[in-house]
Every structure is written in structure tokens, then in C-alpha cells.
Amino acid sequence: MNHPQTITLAFTGASGMPYGIRLLEVLLQQGQQVYLLYSKVAQVVAQQEMNLALPSSAKEAEAFFNRRYQTPEGQLRVFGREEWFAPVASGSNPADAMVICPCTMGTLAAVAAGMSQNLIERAADVTLKENRPLIIVPREMPFSAIHLENMLKLARSGAVILPANPGFYHHPQTVQDLVDFVVVRILDHLGVKHNLIARWGEQN
């Protein structure tokens, strides 16, 4: 059984929203406490890629996802982009870990520069300064030298750069299998147990 953690999960406006939504689903299924943040552009991407209308109100978003995943009250908390009294805004009450999935190059650059112009950036800054795990899932191609330099800067600061690059050694049959491959790698780095796919060396 998993030891419950509190995970801050942020969606930004990069392509790859199915990764973030699937990660949210599995974290909740595994009994983890989730603090969810998402940008305005993430709402646009969710609608375009998944025909999923993410509510603009944090309260409405909590109700939406609680209905969708039948989660107990309080397991999922959603915070607005300017909600500066949220727990994630202070190092006195940090989450156990944070994942930005998917992560835009703009958000990545802001975090690398130590900016805190919205709650996502502030939560990432807090995670780094408190030496908590920060997993960044960029979804872009190709990477420019600026992108790579920002990733290197973050990696040197303790972040895990985990690009949304699915593998094929588990013989995926569906798009969901490809999504799950990336989600599994994130879960492994969070220490959250799962049985989504067989590990390397365990395949039949």
C-alpha cells in the first residue's frame, strides 16, 4: 500500500494534456492527496486535445474532478492562479513533491529564472528551495539552445527533467498505452506504486 503523499500537479499550455489528466487520475486512485493548478492556456489545450472543458473556478474544478473520479472530499484541492494564500505558495507548508505536466517552455524558463508571477511558478520555486522533488515534463520539439540551457539549469538545481517521450519495448497497442508509459515514469520518480505496465525485464 502506498504511503500517502501530497503532490502538487500543474497543467500548463503545452501539448500533451492527456499525460497530465491521466496522471491526476492515477494519483487519486492510489490515494494520494493532490493540489491541482492549471493555466488559462491549459484550459484551451484540454478543450482542443481532449474535448475537456476545465472550469475556470477552483471550486467548480474540484467538484468537476470529484465527480469524474469519485474521490473523497478533501483528497483533491484546486487553487486559482492568483491564490497566494494556498499552501503551495509558502515554504512553511510545501507539498511532498511537484509535477508540471505538461510543461511549456515559457513556464520552464520562468522556473529556471526563479520567477514567481503566478501560483504555478511560485509553487515550483518553493519546491526547489525546500529541496522537494520537482518533476518537469516538457512537451516540445525540437529544443532550442535556450530550452536546453534552461533544462540544464533546472537539473543542476535538483529538478528532474522527464520529457514526454514514450518507449515501445512494452509493445503498446493503443494511444493510452503510450500515455501510460510516460505516466509510469513520473509515478516511479514520485515513489507511487502502480501496475499500469510491466517493468523492463518483467515482460512476457
Q: What is the pLDDT of residues 65-116, one digit of tens each?
A: 999 999 998 999 999 999 999 999 999 999 999 999 999 999 999 999 999 9
- Which pLDDT band, with edges at 50, 70 and 90, does 200 fall under? confident
Q: What is the pLDDT of residue 203?
A: 61
- Give me 18's grid cell: 492527456
pLDDT at 53: 97
* pLDDT tens digits, 150-198: 999 999 999 999 999 999 988 899 999 999 999 999 999 999 998 888 7
Nearest by Cα to 119 from 77, 81, 93: 81
Segment 6-25 shows an average pLDDT of 98
The domain limits of the chain are 6-190
5 secondary structure, DSSP code = -
CATH fold of the domain at 6-190: Rossmann fold (3.40.50)
- Note the pLDDT tens digit of each residue in 47-70: 999 999 999 999 999 999 999 999
pTM of this prediction exceeds 0.85: yes
Greatest Cα-to-Cα distance within the chain, rounded to the nearest angstrom: 50
CA distance 80 to 102: 18
CA dist 15 and 47 (Å) reads 11
What amino acid occupies position 70? Q
